């Protein structure tokens, strides 16, 4: 993960010092300057065609609107997040290109969350720019290739039709490669990397809109015994069954991915904890009703599940770990059940399966 450059422009080192305490140096490189002139000196060193980072302006009395407009004009096609910190919300020209406003005074927790949210938006901007550049090069390459082919075969209609067919096959192949790159081959669900990206996006959405967000960690009970006693082919059939059911029964805006091995993680946007528990319980009962045929054996499958609602300020790993902890409690209590994360912070995180 590349470090995000955060430039804090303020007359007195207040927000800059606080951010250095609450943000990880592995994620943010924080520079503080004390005037717009100093900031312009720093920004002059940045190429206008490269990602610029995040700017946090804390300048109540100094006119900064033209400075912001000039930045937006200079970095028109370049990822840049602009945040203004102010004690008064009056007179903030959003049309100047401000991405977020921090109403002072502000707690360390909210300050960190808002800057991290800007970081997520910034990384998304960088990703979109990279994808756009990749597509531009791909289109240019395809145009050059097509021009050569047409020049060599302009008089041969059959050859031209063959080229069109090849292009269509390439498009289909690229789509299939993209699908394979994003999905787990066995379950058909999102793979771990794509799942984590989706979780980050849903956390950002939840922070931005204030909507609830819940997750379910699912673990197949006694999965090792299934593999040992009936073979890995049977274990693969179980994972396929779980993936098929999730793909066919979750809401269209829900997300499900294979977390690893026999574990799955389900993301439920706009969902409170009590509703998520009901969804998990419905799934648990459905799994329990299924049987898998392995050679001449009929195997009944059960699953243990942990449910947790996202809490503002949590990282992705903190939230998933709470779901995982609740799932471990379900295992400890006898498996084949749903446990919601309502435990105090000191609850044992190392319960066995």
CATH of domain 192-340: 3.30.70.270
> What ranges in 101-156 are assigned the alpha helix state H?
108-153
Does the annotation mark 66 as catalytic? no
Q: What is the pLDDT of residue 242?
A: 93
The ranges of the chain annotated as CATH 3.30.70.270 are 192-340
From residue 70, alpha-carbon distances to 25, 76, 138 in Å are 29, 10, 32
Q: Average pLDDT of 232-245?
A: 92
Are 54 and 15 a contacting pair, CB within 8 Å? no
CA atoms within a 13 Å half-sphere pointing along the CA-CB vector of 208: 15
DSSP secondary-structure letter at 89?
A: -
Q: What is the pLDDT of residue 171?
A: 61
Are 208 and 266 a contacting pair, CB within 8 Å? no
Residue 214's nearest CA partner among 196, 192, 199 is: 199
Q: Average pLDDT of 84-104?
A: 78
Tell me the pLDDT tens digit for each residue of 130-153: 888 888 888 888 887 777 777 776
Tell me the pLDDT tens digit for each residue of 287-346: 999 888 887 888 999 999 999 999 999 999 999 999 999 999 999 999 999 999 986 655
* Better-scored residue on pLDDT, 295 or 281: 281
Q: What is the pLDDT of residue 151?
A: 75
CATH 3.30.479.30 correct for 4-123: no
Whether the pLDDT of residue 211 is over 90: the answer is yes
Q: At what angle do helices 157-182 and 108-153 cross, to 10 degrees?
A: 160
Q: What is the pLDDT of residue 351?
A: 47
Q: Average pLDDT of 230-251?
A: 91
The ranges of the chain annotated as CATH 3.40.50.2300 are 4-123
pLDDT band of residue 267 (cuts 50, 70, 90) is very high
Q: What is the pLDDT of residue 199?
A: 97
Q: Point out the catalytic residue in the list 262, 263, 309, 314.
A: 262
């Amino acid at each position: 993960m590349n470090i995000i450059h955060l430039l804090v422009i303020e007359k007195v080192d207040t927000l800059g010092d606080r951010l250095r305490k609450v943000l990880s140096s592995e994620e943010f490189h924080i520079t503080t300057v004390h005037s717009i002139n100093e900031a312009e000196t720093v920004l002059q060193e940045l190429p206008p065609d490269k990602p610029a980072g995040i700017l946090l302006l804390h300048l109540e009395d100094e006119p900064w609107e033209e400075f912001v407009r000039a930045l937006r004009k200079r970095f028109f096609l370049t990822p840049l997040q602009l945040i203004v910190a102010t004690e008064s919300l009056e007179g903030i020209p959003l049309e100047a290109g401000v991405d977020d406003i921090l109403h002072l005074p502000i707690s360390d927790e909210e300050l960190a969350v808002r800057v991290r949210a800007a970081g997520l938006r910034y990384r998304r901007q960088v990703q979109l720019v990279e994808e756009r550049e990749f597509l531009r090069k791909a289109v240019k390459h395809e145009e050059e290739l097509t021009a050569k082919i047409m020049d060599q075969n302009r008089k041969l209609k059959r050859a031209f039709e063959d080229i069109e067919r090849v292009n269509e096959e390439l498009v289909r192949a690229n789509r299939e490669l993209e699908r394979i790159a994003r999905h787990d081959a066995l379950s058909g669900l999102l793979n771990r990397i794509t799942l984590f990206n989706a979780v980050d996006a849903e956390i950002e959405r939840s922070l931005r809109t204030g909507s609830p967000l819940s997750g379910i960690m699912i673990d197949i009970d006694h999965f090792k015994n299934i593999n040992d006693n009936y073979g890995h082919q049977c274990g693969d059939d179980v994972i396929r069954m779980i993936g098929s059911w999730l793909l066919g029964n979750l809401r269209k805006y829900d997300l499900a991915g294979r977390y690893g091995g026999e574990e799955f993680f389900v993301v439920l946007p706009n969902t409170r904890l009590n509703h998520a528990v009901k969804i998990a319980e419905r799934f648990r009962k459905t799994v329990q009703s299924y049987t898998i045929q392995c050679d001449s054996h009929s195997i009944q499958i059960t699953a243990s599940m942990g449910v947790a609602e996202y809490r503002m300020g949590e990282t992705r790993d903190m939230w998933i770990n709470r779901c995982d902890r609740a799932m471990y409690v379900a295992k400890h209590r006898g498996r084949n059940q749903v446990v919601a994360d309502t435990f105090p912070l000191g609850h044992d995180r190392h319960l066995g399966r």
